[in-house]
């Protein structure tokens, strides 16, 4: 193996070691999404999949924020509409239905469910957040407020302990 190959191998080992140290430190990627133009984040640790919203079968007696159930892999999951849960205005439907809702499917504690969101922005490591404020919000749904370094936007990080109880 030539000197170039040895350098490449050393670089790959260093990158793998840094990635392992990052994961050991609990620095997992976050799924960033929008609701009514505001950026929110949810830790990817409990996320199983991201899907395009198709349709749901309503369940009589469910709370207003629950859209019903939909098929996911080999079973059915409930869908929670975060817009309604957070008290945001309904989404305007374009004439030709160009805009589609996205569903973040996850498992929180023993409950598997889908969260209906407007748009998926990205998947990022928390290390890209340069500042984080705990307790700056009075919302029960927002655990922390952070600022992204790459574009200086504010991101509301969800209180995931509440998701198991929706």
Q: What is the number of residues in the chain? A: 166
CA distance 39 to 53: 19
How far is 88 from 85, CA to CA, in rounded Å?
8
Q: Are strands 75-81 and 102-108 parallel, antiparallel or unpaired?
A: unpaired
Work out the end-to-end distance of the chain between its first and last CA atoms, rounded to an integer number of angstroms. Answer: 57
Per-residue confidence (pLDDT) for residue 73, from 0 to 100: 87
- The predicted pLDDT at position 132 comes to 58
- pLDDT: which is higher, 7 or 107: 107
The whole-number average pLDDT for the span 36-59 is 90
d(CA 112, CA 49): 11
The predicted-structure confidence for 112-166, as pLDDT tens digits, reads as follows 999 999 999 999 876 656 555 555 555 788 888 888 777 878 888 888 888 777 7
Which has the closest alpha carbon to 57: 85, 75, 76, 83? 76
Looking at the predicted structure, is the pLDDT value of residue 93 above 80? no
In the chain, where does DSSP find H-type helix?
A: 3-24, 82-85
Q: How do the domains of the chain map onto residue ranges? A: 28-165
DSSP 64-111: TTEEEEEEETTEEEEEEEHHHHTTPPPPPPPTT-----EEEEEEETTE
The CATH code of the domain at 28-165 is: 2.40.50.180
Token pair, residue 84, equals 């309604």
- The gap from C-alpha 92 to its chain's centroid, in whole angstroms, comes to 22
């Amino acid at each position: 193996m030539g000197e170039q190959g040895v350098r490449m191998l050393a670089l790959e080992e260093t990158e793998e070691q840094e990635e392992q140290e990052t994961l050991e430190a609990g620095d997992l990627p976050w799924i960033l999404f929008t609701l009514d133009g505001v950026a929110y984040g949810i830790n990817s640790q409990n996320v199983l999949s991201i899907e395009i919203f198709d349709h749901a079968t309503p369940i009589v007696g469910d709370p207003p924020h629950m859209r019903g159930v939909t098929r996911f892999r080999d079973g059915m999951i409930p869908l929670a509409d975060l817009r309604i849960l957070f008290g945001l205005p309904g989404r305007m439907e374009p004439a030709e239905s160009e805009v589609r809702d996205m569903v973040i499917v996850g498992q929180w504690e023993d409950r598997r469910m889908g969260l209906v969101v407007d748009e998926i922005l990205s998947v990022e490591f928390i290390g890209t957040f340069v500042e984080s404020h705990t307790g700056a919000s009075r919302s029960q749904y927002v655990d922390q407020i952070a600022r992204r370094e790459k574009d200086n936007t504010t991101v509301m990080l969800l209180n995931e302990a509440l998701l198991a109880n929706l």
